[in-house]
Amino acid sequence: MASAMSLSSLSSLSLRSYRSFSSSSYFASIPPTSSFLLRPLNFRPTPLRLYATTQPPSATASNGDLETTFFDNVEPSEVVTFDPPERPEGYVPPPAFDELPPETEEEIAVAYEEIYGPAYSGESVLGNDIYVMDAKLKKTSSLLGRKKREKVTDGFEERVVQVRRVTKVVKGGKKMSFRAIVVVGNKEGQVGVGVGKAKEVVDAIAKSSTNARRNIVTVPMTKYSTFPHRSDGDYGAAKVMLRPASPGTGVIAGGAVRVVLEMAGVENALGKQIGSKNALNNARATVIAVQKMRQFRDVARERGIPMEELWK
């Protein structure tokens, strides 16, 4: 009951206040000079004043602080002339575009070829291929849309030992990819074994070749392109046996062992895989067996004796 009475009183108060307001009386109380429509044509507004302090203008004037004002002494109707700075001594103005000497036909052809390429004119002034639209762009894909890998010219040859499709079981199912084993070597005593995985075969081979170049080892050899002595190496369950051979024997080995020896430049050697037939483990076991080998001169230098006394 009390709430209903309060609402009725508020509504009656709002209605009385609304009826008591009159637009004609409100505008009649405003002097005509302050209306925007009744301003004279030669009326100029007061310039904007910016104060350096946060205090109001009355406080700044009473305290004697400085007032920062702009455009107080500027007349809008005044014509301002541009006064550029003086030129330094010895200044020579550049020639105008029309005063430059005319370009030759060769200069025009060179500029045209740099912008559009040689295929539009049919002739190449810069020595580019006229059958290529843009000589600066390299072809990165083959005929079927596959990626074309650029060969690295660093003196090392590559040979793919194995490419297999591998599977990784994830939460959503199986993730298919390819694993490549690559052996690189310069056939002068340096060889490396690398492995890489990717979704594409080309990318997997590129990864494995990069990994092989990071694991280069030096193979000690004699003047007959064979090993200085016998050696054995194992990696995991794979075991490899390497033996030197006489000239004319050739490389008698199989699988990944033969690839590693050929890329290292060994021409006469005997190799045998004992144990696992895994290509990657046998290749790494061959590298471990090679790293155990030492030249005769190195052993004689460490022992402090001439090389002739090694066989006594």
User: According to the model, what pLDDT value does residue 136 have?
Assistant: 45
Residue 74 DSSP one-character state? -
pTM (2 decimals)? 0.53
User: According to the model, what pLDDT value does residue 124 have?
Assistant: 78
Rg for the chain (alpha carbons), in Å?
Answer: 46
Distances from the Cα of 10 to the Cα of 2, 5, 16, angstroms: 13, 9, 10
CA–CA gap between residue 250 and residue 225 (Å, rounded): 10
Residue at 29: amino acid letter: S
CA–CA gap between residue 105 and residue 139 (Å, rounded): 31
User: According to the model, what pLDDT value does residue 49 have?
Assistant: 52
Which of 311, 221, 227, 236 lies closest to 279 in space, CA to CA? 236
pLDDT in tens, the chain (312 residues): 555 555 455 444 444 444 444 444 544 555 554 445 555 555 565 555 544 444 444 444 455 566 666 666 777 788 778 888 888 888 888 888 778 888 888 888 888 777 776 655 567 777 777 665 544 444 455 555 555 666 667 788 999 999 999 999 999 899 999 999 999 999 999 999 999 999 999 999 999 999 999 999 999 999 999 999 999 999 999 999 999 999 999 999 999 999 999 999 999 999 999 999 999 999 999 999 999 999 998 999 999 988 888 877
User: Which three-class secondary structure state does DSSP give residue 270?
Assistant: strand
User: According to the model, what pLDDT value does residue 20 have?
Assistant: 46
Distances from the Cα of 144 to the Cα of 140, 202, 302, angstroms: 12, 13, 59
* Helix, strand and coil in the chain, % to nearest 5: 30, 20, 45
CA–CA gap between residue 52 and residue 68 (Å, rounded): 6
Contact residues for 211 (Cβ-Cβ < 8 A; gap 6+) = 182, 194, 195, 196
Half-sphere CA count of 32, side-chain side, radius 13 A: 2
Q: Say if residue 130 is exposed, middle or buried (CB neighbours under 10 Å; 0-12, 13-18, 19+).
A: middle
User: According to the model, what pLDDT value does residue 159 have?
Assistant: 94
Residue pair 206/180 in contact (Cβ under 8 Å)? The answer is no
User: Which three-class secondary structure state does DSSP give residue 287?
Assistant: helix
